Amino acid sequence: MIQRQDIFHWAKEQYGTDPEYLWMRTPNYAVLRHSGSGKWYATVLDIPPRYIGLQGEEIIDILLVKSDPVLIGALLRNEGFHPAYHMNKSNWISVRLDGTVPWEQICDLLAFSYELVSPKRRKQATK
């Protein structure tokens, strides 16, 4: 099973980012922020399963990542993916951290999300 610490370790190794805990009411909600743009590229939350349409009472961890709307549509057809909880559902997706989604795919989604929130480079004017 993939755990939040695995994601935090990966983010630190890849991008030098550490989780930020921004809310007193939800102390386990963590945000990963792009160091260049300051924008979030991922959040890790612990939520009741009903928040993403599942049965059960035991709190689960989910990862939210920014993505392309077309990719989100394709991913939602697969086990382990759900519409974004508490984020824009056309640009973000929830991923269960219960081992359903392979680690390699989670890393790819994190990397894609990181790139999506990277500072945009301005085109240089031609002389």
Single pTM value for the model: 0.89
Domain covering 29-98+106-111, topology: Aspartate Aminotransferase, domain 1 (3.90.1150)
Q: How far apart are CA 69 and CA 72, in angstroms?
A: 5
Q: Digits of tens for pLDDT over the chain (127 positions)?
A: 789 999 999 999 999 999 999 998 999 999 999 999 999 999 999 999 999 999 998 999 999 999 999 999 999 999 999 999 878 788 999 999 999 999 999 999 999 999 999 988 766 655 5
Q: What are the sequence ranges of the domains in the chain?
A: 29-98+106-111
- Which positions ≥6 away from 48 have C-beta within 8 Å? 57, 59, 60
